[in-house]
Amino acid sequence: MFLSYHAVLVFLITGIVMVCTPMVLGALFRPKNPYPAKSMPYECAEDPVGGAQVRFDMRFYAAALIFIVFDVEIAFMFPWAFVFSTYPDRTLAMLEGVFFLLVLGLGLVYVWAKGDVDWVKGFNRRRRVQG
């Protein structure tokens, strides 16, 4: 019954061997010479400051995502602008470009409406309620 799984066994053994061989070979080949300056965390040759497990403000995440919207937009606009003059049907090319911008603009509108553009999320809405 288990004989039908011999392929799995072969793959398992192959996988283990493929991982272990380079590690053993590397241990044989490499010089081992640790010292404090070498074991120090790499911080572009500066002295590390503070701990690595710090809290990071989640609002930067939203800001980075919004940045990606514009970043990708520009990255796609360049080739579009480059071939625009040589494109046979310029009206179609223009419409396609505008449609692309509209879709991405819709993303910005969504983000704006959700209040992610504000640094303090929902602050304006709360103030409206109070006033």
Nearer to another protein, 28 or 74 (CB): 28
Q: Is 2 in the site for another protein (CB under 8 A)?
A: no
Contact call for residues 116 and 66 (beta carbons, < 8 A): yes
Q: Measured from the CB of residue 107, what is the shortest distance to another protein in angstroms?
A: 31
Task: Give the x/- contact pattern for another protein in 18-57, rule: CB under 8 A.
Answer: ---------xxxxxxx-x-xx-x-x--xx-----------
Contact call for residues 115 and 124 (beta carbons, < 8 A): yes
Directed axis angle between helix 59-84 and helix 90-114, to 10°? 170
Q: What is the DSSP letter of 7?
A: H
Q: Measured from the CB of residue 5, what is the shortest distance to another protein in angstroms?
A: 37
Write down the residue that tokens 């404090």 correspond to.
Answer: 36
Q: How far apart are CA 46 and CA 37, in angstroms?
A: 11
What are the residue ranges of helices labelled H in 4-117? 6-29, 36-39, 59-84, 90-114
Q: How far apart are CA 13 and CA 20, in angstroms?
A: 10
Nearer to another protein, 2 or 35 (CB): 35
Q: How many residues sit close enough to another protein to count as binding (CB under 8 A)?
A: 14
Task: Give the x/- contact pattern for another protein in 61-100, rule: CB under 8 A.
Answer: ----------------------------------------
Q: Measured from the CB of residue 82, what is the shortest distance to another protein in angstroms?
A: 20
Residues that bind another protein (CB under 8 A): 27-33, 35, 37-38, 40, 42, 45-46
